[in-house]
Amino acid sequence: MMSADMDAVDAENQVELEEKTRLINQVLELQHTLEDLSARVDAVKEENLKLKSENQVLGQYIENLMSASSVFQTTDTKSKRK
């Protein structure tokens, strides 16, 4: 091969190598982003479960308070009208 042909091949190889390197770096960046998002989803799921549990406890507490309070007791309106 002539020197000019070899230079052209070397230039093509260099461009290909740079493109491969760019794509590899992009893939790695996307993988890190996906890992970060997955970790965030897991954290949000845990927080959601914790809040659901707290809401159940609070709901039961409020229900117990309401049943113990005479203000929230049901009244028999028919017997009062007579």
Distance between CA atoms of residues 71 and 58, nearest Å: 19
| 68 part of a folded domain | no
In 3-state terms, what secondary structure has residue 76?
Answer: coil
At 9-36, the pLDDT tens digits run 888 999 999 999 999 999 999 999 999 9
Burial string for 23-37 (b: 16+ CB within 10 Å, else e) reads eeeeeeeeeeeeeee
Q: How many domains does the chain have?
A: 1
Q: What is the pTM of this model?
A: 0.59
In the chain, % helix, strand, coil (3-state, to 5) comes to 90, 0, 10
| 22 part of a folded domain | no
Q: Can you read off the two tokens belonging to residue 16?
A: 């290909």
Pair 72, 66: CB distance under 8 Å = yes
At 32-46, the pLDDT tens digits run 999 999 999 999 999
Domain with 39 in it: 34-63
